[in-house]
């Protein structure tokens, strides 16, 4: 089975750009240290500095579920809840 790829687009609501960015930056190191994490990279949209893209690769769905249960992920949800719009794509590579 191929890795599970996540593309998360997080768009901070007006006035919350700095808070959202700082929360996203904080989650990167502990997420990269997780056993099932293959990739966890934060990007900013050069055309919209309120929009952040997290590109992730996980060993499988179970590894992602473990990630979502961690204290650092739960803290991220609390920090950005109501302050950002989030869209998540879950992908598997075909070729």
pLDDT at position 1, please? 61
Distance separating alpha carbons of residues 27 and 20, to the nearest angstrom: 11
79's enclosing H/E stretch is helix 71-80
80's enclosing H/E stretch is helix 71-80
Q: What is the mean predicted confidence (pLDDT) over 81-92?
A: 97
What pTM was computed for the model? 0.93
Q: What is the 3-state secondary structure (H, E, C) of 4-53?
A: EEEEEEEEECCCCHHHHHHHHHHHHHHHHCCCCEEEEEEEEECCEEEEEE
| Whole-number Cα distances in Å, 91 to 20, 41, 54 | 24, 16, 13
Distance separating alpha carbons of residues 14 and 37, to the nearest angstrom: 31
Full domain range(s) for residue 16: 4-92
Q: What is the CATH number of the domain that holds 13?
A: 3.30.70.100
Quote the mean pLDDT of the chain: 96
Which has more confidence, 65 or 2? 65
Q: What is the pLDDT of residues 3-51, one digit of tens each?
A: 999 999 999 999 999 999 999 999 999 999 999 999 999 999 999 999 9
Q: What is the pLDDT of residues 40-70, one digit of tens each?
A: 999 999 999 999 999 999 999 999 999 999 9
Say how many domains are in the chain: 1
């Amino acid at each position: 089975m191929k890795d599970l790829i996540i593309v998360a687009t997080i768009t901070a609501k007006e006035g919350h750009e700095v808070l959202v960015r700082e929360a996203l930056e904080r989650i990167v190191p502990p997420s990269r240290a997780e056993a099932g994490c293959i990739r966890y990279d934060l990007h900013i949209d050069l055309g919209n500095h309120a929009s952040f893209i997290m590109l992730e690769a996980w060993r499988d769905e179970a590894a992602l579920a473990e990630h979502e249960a961690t204290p650092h992920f739960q803290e991220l949800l609390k920090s950005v809840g109501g302050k950002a719009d989030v869209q998540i794509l879950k992908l598997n590579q075909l070729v």
